[in-house]
Amino acid sequence: MDEDGPLAHLRAGAPGGQAARGDRLPSVVAIRRWWLPRLLLAFLLILSACGCSSTATGQPPVAATTTVVPTLISQPGALPALIQTATFHEYPLTRHAEGDMLMRPALDQQGRVWFGVMASNRIAMFDPRGASWQTVAPPHGRGGLMGLIVAPDGSLWFAEQYANYIGHYLPSTGRFQLYPLPIVTAPDPAHKGKQLTLPVAPNELLMDRQGLIWFTEMNADALGRLNPATGELRQYPLSAHHTVQQLNPYGLASDAHGNLWFTESSQNRIGYLDPHTGTITTFSTPDPGAMPMEIAVDQQGQVWITTFAHNLLLRFNPSSRQFTRYYAPTPDGSSGGLYGLSLDRSDGVWVTVAAANALAHLLPEQQRFLYYLVPTASSFPFGVAVANRQQVWFTEAGANQLGLLTLA
């Protein structure tokens, strides 16, 4: 592997301004405390409260298989949730360390599972065919590897928040191409009248039908677009002013018309960008303080959103501009929120429910959730990806494991 991989030049696109070179970025360590995403702070607090821990290991992966006994749980005013019988396999990440934080998984054309390991800044790949692991460290990483997608050609695109670049990795050659991002300035909340210099903090990304890479910029309150063929970067601001006290935008998805849907967590809004006109339209969610996180669009054009604070799964109908609320109950009535979100081929909706230590499958027609409890206690199920109708992959951020749910 070429640790230093070539750095790509960016041509500044309106209105983003001149992009900074990756090796000239200011020190992020000194300012990280001010702009660390609130999701990760909440994530660490939850892990601390549940007493999760892990230790470094070099042992080969071992799969634990567990069958869950069905039990019915219900709450007043909530959708009934039936805990289902299912088979789980759990694969401990090799060479993991405490607080690694496994991010959202992505599946490639060979059925392999890829995801970022944030704290140690590695890309991990698990191959189910031989139950084998591979990891690789991107160049110049600073412990902030977040979103990751698999392109149609099998290459990987990923977002480096702290190092402030979009990365492209070719597994076949082991080479990286890096695309440095601009920096932004914002008022320093601790020192009146002073400014902080910050990375734009890329978070989630996707590839559109033209092969353009879109991503959310949390510190810049903007969407970014990268043209891999030319290296051109363009930014679409969502607000006129930047502040480190916001977490905007976060999740990202596209619909059949090419619109880019996003969540604005601190503003409790969702919205979409029409890339043809540059027009941005936003909608306030029905629950203040819910913190919308992940977002996805189904085959019918319905927009689904997880919320991190209120145990709510939201559905938004773009035609009627109306929200439908689905409250995800937990066995003890606790509130831990939903994060991971994935749609299967029949538009079934899968989410991770951290407080319940479970995956949940929504059946909208039956007005209920099917719950699948993760065998490892306090595993903090985080990201989720549906392979097919029988298999659902998920990351266990609190246990440093990759999980596989196999339906009967």
Cα dist from 129 to 110, 112, 375, whole Å:
10, 8, 22
Question: Which pLDDT does position 79 carry in this prediction?
Answer: 54
Average pLDDT in the chain = 80
- What is the tens place of the pLDDT at every residue in 337-348? 899 999 988 878
Between 276 and 356, name the one with better pLDDT. 276
Distance CA 34, CA 27 (A): 13
Question: Which pLDDT does position 96 carry in this prediction?
Answer: 62
pLDDT for 91 beyond 80: yes
Distance CA 385, CA 94 (A): 21
What is the pLDDT confidence band of residue 68, given thresholds at 50, 70 and 90?
A: very low
Over residues 202-225, the mean pLDDT reads: 96
Q: Over pLDDT 90: what percentage of the chain?
A: 56
Number of domains in the chain: 1
- Across 87-101, 292-306, 355-369, which has the greatest mean pLDDT? 292-306
Over residues 92-121, the mean pLDDT reads: 89
pLDDT for 259 beyond 90: yes
- Across 25-39, 64-78, 103-117, 367-381, which has the greatest mean pLDDT? 103-117
The model's pTM: 0.82
Provide the residue count of the chain.
408
Question: Which pLDDT does position 332 carry in this prediction?
Answer: 60
Q: Within a domain: residue 237?
A: yes
- Yes or no: say if 25 and 199 are a contact pair by the CB < 8 Å rule: yes
What is the pLDDT confidence band of residue 372, given thresholds at 50, 70 and 90?
A: very high
Q: Within a domain: residue 70?
A: yes
Distance CA 407, CA 405 (A): 6
Over residues 261-284, the mean pLDDT reads: 94
Q: Could you tell me which of 158, 86, 170 has the C-alpha nearest to residue 117?
A: 158
Question: Which pLDDT does position 106 carry in this prediction?
Answer: 98
What is the pLDDT confidence band of residue 242, given thresholds at 50, 70 and 90?
A: low
CATH number where 367 lies? 2.130.10.10
Strands 349-353 and 183-187: unpaired
Amino acid letter for position 285: T
Amino acid letter for position 190: A
Q: Within a domain: residue 131?
A: yes
Amino acid letter for position 314: L
pLDDT for 246 beyond 90: no
Distance CA 342, CA 350 (A): 5
Q: Within a domain: residue 3?
A: no
Distance CA 234, CA 212 (A): 11
Question: Which pLDDT does position 327 carry in this prediction?
Answer: 86
Over residues 57-65, the mean pLDDT reads: 40
Rounded (5°) CA angle 136-139-142: 95
Q: Within a domain: residue 6?
A: no
Between 386 and 64, name the one with better pLDDT. 386
- What is the tens place of the pLDDT at every residue in 170-182? 999 999 999 999 9
DSSP annotation of 7 reads: B
pLDDT for 111 beyond 50: yes
Asked which of 28-32, 205-209, 230-234 is least confident by mean pLDDT, the reply is 28-32
Between 237 and 187, name the one with better pLDDT. 237
Q: Helix, strand or coil for residue 307?
A: strand
Distance CA 285, CA 330 (A): 22
Between 248 and 203, name the one with better pLDDT. 203
Question: Which pLDDT does position 345 carry in this prediction?
Answer: 85
Q: Within a domain: residue 5?
A: no
What is the pLDDT confidence band of residue 131, given thresholds at 50, 70 and 90?
A: very high
Backbone angles phi, psi at 210, to 5 degrees: -90, 0
Q: Over pLDDT 70: what percentage of the chain?
A: 76
Q: Within a domain: residue 2?
A: no
Domain membership of residue 27 as a residue range: 11-406
Question: Which pLDDT does position 321 carry in this prediction?
Answer: 94
Q: Within a domain: residue 4?
A: no
pLDDT for 202 beyond 60: yes
